[in-house]
């Protein structure tokens, strides 16, 4: 795993947040594997930072259900069953679909332009098969979109759910050649929201989640 760079440190994020983002990227890239326990000192050395931000970032991932603490050893990446992943998808539908429908037609033009730029970055990442950049853009897009509802608790909950589920879905989507279609769904969804078509936005959000769930089902059969 690569060390954190000075460029990354200027991104306005705390070292704890930078390490957390790098840990999520390592999970996506397959550098950290489910069921294996990783020690904090080892990860700190690999990242080129002290143990404290690594431990703090790992505890954040514990709260999100991504890793579990192993006393006196470190942290283990949680293994999730197909049932666990399906449960995540169900909760996400209950939260994300109605909110996306409700905010349709309410987002300011400036914010829509910024969301379009993010969606384009996601598309480019998909074309390049860059899973890490795709994950980062996907997360930013959906959380920025949901933030329009003005409920930060909702955004925090969805962030955790999306992080857990996307870790298991992206590799499958890429392997099946569905990463680009999934990226294009962001653009379709945003345009439905922009024109105030709540029904279309809800349908597209449902489809987006079903797209990911289908990959889980095929790869956890």
Report domain 82-219's class.
mainly alpha
On the question of pLDDT at 178 being above 60, the answer is: yes
Question: Which residue would you say has higher pLDDT here, 89 or 142?
Answer: 142
For the domain made up of 6-77, the CATH class stated in words is mainly alpha
pLDDT, tens only, 101-139: 999 999 999 999 999 999 999 999 999 888 778 888 888
Which carries the bigger pLDDT value, residue 60 or residue 175?
60
How far apart CA 10 and CA 125 sit, in angstroms, is 22
Q: What is the mean pLDDT of residues 58-82?
A: 88
Q: How far apart are CA 171 and CA 208, in angstroms?
A: 16
The CA–CA distances, whole Å, from 22 to 36, 112, 123, 146, 170 equal: 18, 28, 21, 24, 16
| CATH 1.20.120.530 in the chain, residue ranges | 82-219
Task: Answer whether residue 214 shows pLDDT above 90.
Answer: no
Residues 6+ apart with CB under 8 A from 182: 126, 173, 208, 211, 212
The percentage of residues in the chain with a pLDDT greater than 70, rounded to a whole number, is: 82
Spell out the residues 6+ positions from residue 207 whose beta carbon is closer than 8 angstroms to its own. Answer: 185
Name the segment(s) of the chain with CATH classification 1.10.10.10.
Answer: 6-77
Residue 218 has pLDDT above 60, yes or no: no
Tokens 């987002």 correspond to what residue?
107
Q: Among 104, 98, 88, 103, which Cα is nearest to 163's?
A: 88
CB atoms within 10 A of CB 49: 20
Predicted local distance difference test score (pLDDT) of residue 30: 67
Which region among 85-89, 172-176, 188-192 has the lowest average model confidence (pLDDT)? 172-176
In this predicted structure, which of 12-21, 118-127, 196-205 has the lowest mean pLDDT?
Answer: 12-21
Distance CA 19, CA 44 (A): 9
Name the pLDDT band for 24 (thresholds 50, 70, 90).
confident
């Amino acid at each position: 795993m690569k060390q954190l760079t000075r460029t990354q440190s200027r991104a306005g994020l705390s070292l704890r947040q930078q390490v957390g983002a790098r840990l999520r990227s390592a999970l996506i890239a397959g550098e950290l594997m489910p069921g294996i326990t990783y020690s904090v000192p080892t990860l700190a050395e690999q990242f080129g930072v002290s143990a404290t931000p690594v431990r703090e970032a790992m505890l954040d991932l514990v709260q999100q259900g991504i890793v579990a603490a192993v006393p006196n050893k470190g942290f283990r990446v949680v293994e999730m069953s197909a049932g666990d992943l399906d449960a995540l998808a169900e909760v996400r539908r209950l939260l994300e679909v109605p909110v996306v429908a409700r905010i349709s037609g309410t987002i300011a033009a400036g914010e829509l332009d910024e969301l379009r730029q993010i969606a384009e970055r996601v598309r480019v990442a998909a074309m390049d098969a860059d899973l890490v950049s795709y994950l980062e853009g996907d997360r930013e897009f959906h959380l920025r979109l949901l933030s329009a509802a003005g409920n930060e608790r909702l955004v925090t909950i969805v962030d955790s759910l999306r992080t857990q589920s996307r870790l298991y879905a992206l590799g499958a989507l890429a392997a099946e050649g569905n990463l680009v279609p999934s990226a294009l769904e962001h653009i379709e969804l945003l345009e439905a929201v922009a024109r105030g078509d709540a029904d279309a936005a809800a349908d597209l959000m449902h489809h987006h989640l079903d797209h990911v769930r289908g990959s889980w089902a095929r790869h956890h059969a």
